[in-house]
Chain A
Amino acid sequence: MAKYKKTGTLDAYSTIKAVARAAPPLPGPAAGTPAGPAPTDSPPPPTAHIARTAIPTKQIIECYECGYTFQLHGRVKTINCSKCRVNLNLADLTLSTTCTETLKTVGTIRLTAEAVLQSGELVGGDVVLEGTVEGGTIRAMRRLELGAGAIFSEKAIRALDLRIAPAADITFRQEARFRNVEILGRLTAPLRATGLITIRPGGLLAGEIHAEHLVVEDGGGLQAALRISPPENAAPRTR
């Protein structure tokens, strides 16, 4: 350990090396002999055991400028888009005050119940909205979650998938189009989903529903006029 005295930080490699040096050698069988338990009366001495190795996290990054999707290994705070070279922010943001600026991230943006979006644009991979949108826009590249205290301004929100959080009561006045919709609270809407609508126990969906796939779990509520038909049974579209 003497040669590591000057080291200010301890990285994973040096940690493993140190553990290996500190641990006594494992009592292994001699070369050429079959492996088997050694006939000893005392229990084997405790050995160093590394229970878990760090595997680089893998995530799919979608550029919020050009829409290009690529894969990222490991954890970083920013990365350049492979296509348009824009520097992408990967951090998660939590807003709990008034916001008037434009924020973009590939991570998750959470607007707490105290947050008020007055102007600007929020672009996030996932957006959790529990606050108020008075102005500006919100764009979720993946999923938008609407919480219990969410209040929206019209035309302000775009998202691919929608999730209604428990205890949320959301009403859409005009037709809402999403891919996948997951409902744990209450949603009243003329809803058109191209993917899967899932109503979890305690969720309630009301309105006019057009979807290709619907799953209602036991305990989910459904008070709606429905047209659920898989693609092969769907009526031909007319323009």
Chain B
Amino acid sequence: MENTAPQSVISNEVEIIGTIKSSGSVRIDGKLEGELHCTGDAVIGKTAQIKGNLAVSSVSIEGTINGNVVAKDRIEMKSSARVHGDIKAKRLSVEDGVTFIGRSEVNPTNSPLTTPPVLPETGATEAEDNGQTAGATAARTFARR
């Protein structure tokens, strides 16, 4: 997410309580307690701590976010990123080492799922017992002991 356009910078000694709205790019290295609405790209630096939701075009995350992240295009999580919240984007890139607790909704190909994302924890169906289901697009049952 290299961007040479001028950007607003919240440096690491700055703490903001409230909502930030920007029509350009934003880089946050400080603390934000509130929401960030950004029509451009956002960079959440390593020292950044955000408590609130983010609505951006694209975002590169290296710091800590406690809140939901919605990106029109892309979310990029660097190895130092810590995200507690849900994310939604067209594209996602995650490096090894991130901490992420939440739900993700990223489907670049927009292909529909054949089954609901969250499956029941217990209760084997008849199809499971048979080990297979009918139909050309049948979901394959697989279990490991």
Residues of A within 8 A of B (CB): 132-134, 146, 150-159, 169-178, 186, 188-190, 196, 202, 204, 206-208, 213-230, 233
Contacts and interface: CB of A to CB of B under 8 A. Distances in A.
Contacts of A152: 131-132, 140-142
A214 B96 contact: yes
A227 B118 CA distance: 13
Given A169-B137, A190-B121, A223-B113, A228 B142 contact: no
Please classify how large the interface on chain B is, using the bins under 10, 10 to 19, 20 to 34, 35 or more.
35 or more
Interface in B105-139: 105-109, 111, 113-115, 117-121, 124-125, 128-132, 137-139
A173 to B, nearest CB: 5
B97 interface: yes
A181 B111 CA distance: 21
Nearest to A135: B131
Interface of B: 91-109, 111, 113-115, 117-121, 124-125, 128-132, 137-145
Given A207-B119, A226-B103, A188 B139 contact: yes
B118 to A, nearest CB: 6
Contacts of A220: 92, 106, 108
B142 A157 contact: yes
B119 A208 contact: yes
B129 to A, nearest CB: 7
A219 B108 contact: yes
Given A207-B117, A222-B106, A226-B103, A173 B94 contact: no
B119 to A, nearest CB: 5
A159 B142 CA distance: 12
A154 B131 contact: yes
Given A158-B144, A207-B117, A213-B96, A173 B128 contact: yes
Given A176-B143, A228-B101, A229-B101, A216 B92 contact: yes
A206 B111 CA distance: 12
30 contacts: A132-B132, A151-B132, A152-B142, A153-B132, A155-B145, A170-B139, A171-B114, A171-B115, A174-B124, A176-B143, A177-B144, A178-B144, A188-B115, A188-B117, A204-B107, A204-B111, A206-B113, A207-B117, A213-B97, A214-B94, A215-B94, A218-B93, A221-B107, A223-B106, A224-B103, A225-B104, A226-B104, A228-B94, A229-B99, A233-B99
Given A152-B131, A188-B113, A208 B96 contact: no
B131 A133 contact: yes
Nearest to B74: A218
Nearest to B111: A204
A225 B142 contact: no
B91 to A, nearest CB: 6
Contacts of A156: 131
Interface centre among B100, B121, B128, B140, by most chain A C-beta atoms within 10 angstroms, is B140
Given A204-B113, A208-B119, A222-B94, 7 more contacts: A152-B132, A153-B130, A176-B142, A186-B111, A204-B111, A221-B107, A225-B118
A227 to B, nearest CB: 5
B58 to A, nearest CB: 12
Given A188-B117, A219-B91, A151 B101 contact: no
A212 to B, nearest CB: 9
Contacts of B102: 225-226
Nearest to B83: A228
Contacts of A169: 114, 137, 139-140
